[in-house]
């Protein structure tokens, strides 16, 4: 090599260090510098809620390698030969001279650092609601180590009785759990009509019900209009409908926006999402500048639309791509994302990959979907419930997305669906998927495959499904439907909807057909606990000539509304 390549990376959280480390492995002789605004490097920021919630004691674990070494500038230099400069902000990118201007956060010292290739990994900044009182003491986000330290202290001290979490997205619900574990009375508020907008409403409602059962208060569809305070200290949160929620702490988790100002100031192209525009090599509009992580916009692989997708795993994957491309030239591609995500909420997990039905329809797809509820293992192995919703493109039969919530193993099913999306598989192909089966891990037909079976049955007209929400609307509108619960009387005694249903156990149905509507064209809706027996009943009634028989998908387990019992 005639001369050492100079790689400068702006940002030291996730994408930046990954790009730097990969570049180092690609070129052991390159001069690689990371410039980080804060004093911490390579923070596992997705772990903040678990630190706050007391899952572990040592905050340094958020900054450690798998073998327990803190990733500080010393570590970067010794182990990787990377120069990591902390507490230093990049104030300008000088594209003509190919330098960046830096200012030290403490000393104010200004410096000029030359680069051959520059990587922008400036991350994202929290969006704060533009309402009065947002500067009161007691309002925080959970976006930095400092935030995490503050909230952990709050949790440990146990002096706060009530807190409000503003925003019911991923970080909002994780924060809700963390503070609830500390014995704090939590209310989560959101201006949107549901928690976890990546889920369809009826799936989100199941999560919300679980959060409420765990002791959290949830208020949706009601924006914060003011933070109330006395003597500069937060005393409450006021909502648009007038509700005032007294609290000593508010955690704002209303999303983030790309930190693209520096790039914009340097004249780099910025997208409508406010993310830095990059091509598939993650190269910006300046060929010598790449960008990765929460500051860029990327492509949704199903809609082909540009989106902002601030996920920790994508930041790392993008960092690896950039680390290669800054050394080898445009070589490795980052195609985009299925926006796969997951979170733990008390004893539930909730995950998604691909498009929700709402998003798919907004994107112009003619969708067909199904909700499927079942335990994630055989009963004798202590299976736990999973509710899946699978969405397909009616035109092609291709899988468009899957959502999964419940106390069971959500993660495996979302991972399976994410790989199915990656392989562009159709529902028909999923019906004969070959997943690992043994009783400690899944039912003989995995929930993911079984869900595809029911969706295929629906697509071929073998099953006419109806969602709980549609059933509820019919009940509320007093439509003349006949609701048939096909469970056994003891099950009915223990739990029931109480919406005017008739109970006839599946095993007795053949001998009690005379109890069913004389009018063979009346709309009959069958269900049971998970609607497997409901499905059998529906087929039976169709066999006996009833013409409009539907199955309420997911049965009682997917019913998101209050039950009689």
Site for a copy of itself in 176-215 (CB under 8 A): none
Of the candidates 206, 197, 208, which has an alpha carbon nearest to the alpha carbon of residue 339?
197
Distance of alpha carbon 443 from alpha carbon 383, whole angstroms: 8
Indicate the residue among 228 and 381 with the shorter CB distance to a copy of itself.
381
Among 127, 228, 317, 475, the residue binding a copy of itself under the rule CB under 8 A is 317
* Residue 272 lies near a copy of itself (rule: CB under 8 A): no
* Residue 175 lies near a copy of itself (rule: CB under 8 A): no
Buried b / exposed e over 479-490, threshold 16 CB at 10 Å, is: eebbbbbbbbee
Distance of alpha carbon 320 from alpha carbon 324, whole angstroms: 6
Binding string, residues 490-509; x marks residues near a copy of itself by CB under 8 A:
-x--------------xxx-
* Residue 28 lies near a copy of itself (rule: CB under 8 A): yes
Grouping H, G, I as helix, E, B as strand and the rest as coil, residue 61 is helix
Indicate the residue among 535 and 559 with the shorter CB distance to a copy of itself.
535
Burial of 558 (0-12, 13-18, 19+ CB in 10 A): buried
* Residue 343 lies near a copy of itself (rule: CB under 8 A): yes
Indicate the residue among 164 and 343 with the shorter CB distance to a copy of itself.
343
Stretch 515-534 residues interacting with a copy of itself (CB under 8 A) = 529-530, 532-533
CB of 93 to a copy of itself, least distance (A): 27
Which range in 130-138, 182-190, 205-213, 315-323 contacts a copy of itself by CB under 8 A?
315-323
Among 109, 158, 272, 437, the residue binding a copy of itself under the rule CB under 8 A is 437
CB of 3 to a copy of itself, least distance (A): 15
Size of the site for a copy of itself (CB under 8 A): 114
Distance of alpha carbon 172 from alpha carbon 546, whole angstroms: 48
Distance of alpha carbon 78 from alpha carbon 155, whole angstroms: 36
CB of 512 to a copy of itself, least distance (A): 11
Written as one string, the DSSP assignment of 180-245 is HHTT-EEEEE-SSSSS-TTS-HHHHHHHHHHHHHTT-EEE-S--EEEEEEETTEEEEEEETTS-EE
Among 110, 213, 272, 444, the residue binding a copy of itself under the rule CB under 8 A is 444
Indicate the residue among 238 and 306 with the shorter CB distance to a copy of itself.
306
Among 41, 195, 414, 558, the residue binding a copy of itself under the rule CB under 8 A is 414
Among 104, 344, 464, 496, the residue binding a copy of itself under the rule CB under 8 A is 344
Indicate the residue among 268 and 516 with the shorter CB distance to a copy of itself.
516
Strands 162-166 and 249-252: parallel
* CA-based end-to-end distance of the chain: 75
């Amino acid at each position: 090599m005639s001369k050492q390549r100079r790689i400068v990376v702006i940002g030291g959280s996730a994408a930046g260090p990954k790009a730097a480390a990969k570049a180092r492995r690609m070129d052991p002789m390159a001069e690689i510098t990371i410039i980080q605004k804060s004093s911490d490097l390579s923070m596992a920021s997705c772990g903040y809620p678990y630190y706050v919630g007391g899952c572990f004691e040592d905050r340094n674990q958020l900054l450690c390698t798998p073998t327990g070494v803190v990733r500080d500038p010393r570590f970067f230099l010794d182990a990787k030969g990377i120069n990591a400069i902390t507490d230093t902000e990049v104030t300008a990118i000088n594209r003509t001279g190919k330098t960046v201007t830096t200012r030290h956060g403490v000393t104010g010292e200004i410096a000029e650092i030359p680069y051959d290739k520059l990587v922008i990994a400036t991350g994202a900044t929290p969006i704060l609601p533009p309402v009065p009182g947002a500067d009161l003491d007691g309002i925080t986000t959970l976006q930095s180590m400092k935030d995490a330290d503050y909230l952990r202290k709050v949790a440990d001290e146990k002096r706060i009785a009530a807190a409000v979490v503003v925003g019911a997205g991923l970080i909002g619900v994780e924060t809700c759990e963390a503070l609830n574990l500390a014995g704090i009375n939590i209310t989560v508020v959101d201006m949107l009509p549901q928690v976890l907008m990546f889920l369809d409403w009826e799936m989100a409602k199941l999560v919300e019900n679980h959060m409420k059962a765990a002791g959290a208060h949830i208020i949706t569809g009601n924006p914060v209009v003011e933070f109330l305070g006395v003597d500069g200290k937060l005393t409450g949160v006021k909502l648009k409908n007038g509700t005032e929620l007294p609290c000593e702490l508010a955690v704002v988790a209303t999303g983030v926006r790309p930190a693209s100002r520096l790039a914009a100031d340097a004249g780099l192209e910025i997208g409508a999402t406010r993310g830095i525009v990059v091509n598939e090599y993650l190269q910006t509009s300046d060929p010598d500048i790449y960008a990765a992580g929460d500051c860029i916009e990327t492509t949704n692989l199903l809609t082909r639309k540009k989106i902002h997708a601030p996920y920790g795993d994508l930041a790392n994957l993008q960092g690896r791509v950039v680390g290669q491309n800054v050394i080898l030239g445009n070589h490795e591609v980052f195609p985009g994302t299925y926006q796969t995500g997951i979170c733990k909420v008390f004893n539930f997990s909730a995950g998604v990959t691909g498009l929700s039905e709402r998003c798919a329809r907004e994107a112009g797809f003619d969708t067909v979907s199904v909700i499927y509820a079942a335990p994630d293992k055989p009963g004798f192995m202590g299976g736990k419930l999973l509710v899946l919703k699978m969405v397909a493109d009616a035109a092609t039969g291709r899988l468009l997305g899957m959502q999964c919530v419940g106390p069971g193993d959500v993660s495996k099913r979302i991972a399976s669906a994410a790989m199915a999306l990656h392989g562009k598989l159709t529902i028909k192909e999923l019906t004969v998927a070959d997943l690992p089966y043994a009783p400690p891990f899944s039912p003989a037909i995995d929930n993911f495959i079984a869900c595809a079976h029911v969706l295929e049955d629906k697509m071929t007209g073998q099953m006419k499904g109806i969602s709980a929400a549609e059933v509820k609307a019919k009940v509320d509108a007093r439509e003349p439907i006949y609701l048939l619960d096909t469970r056994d009387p003891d099950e009915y005694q223990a739990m029931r909807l109480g919406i005017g249903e008739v109970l006839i156990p599946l095993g007795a149905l053949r001998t009690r057909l005379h109890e069913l509507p004389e009018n063979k064209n009346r709309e009959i809706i069958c269900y049971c606990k998970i609607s497997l027996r409901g499905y059998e009943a529906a087929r039976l009634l169709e066999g006996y000539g009833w013409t409009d028989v539907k199955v309420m998908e997911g049965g009682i387990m997917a019913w998101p509304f209050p039950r009689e019992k």
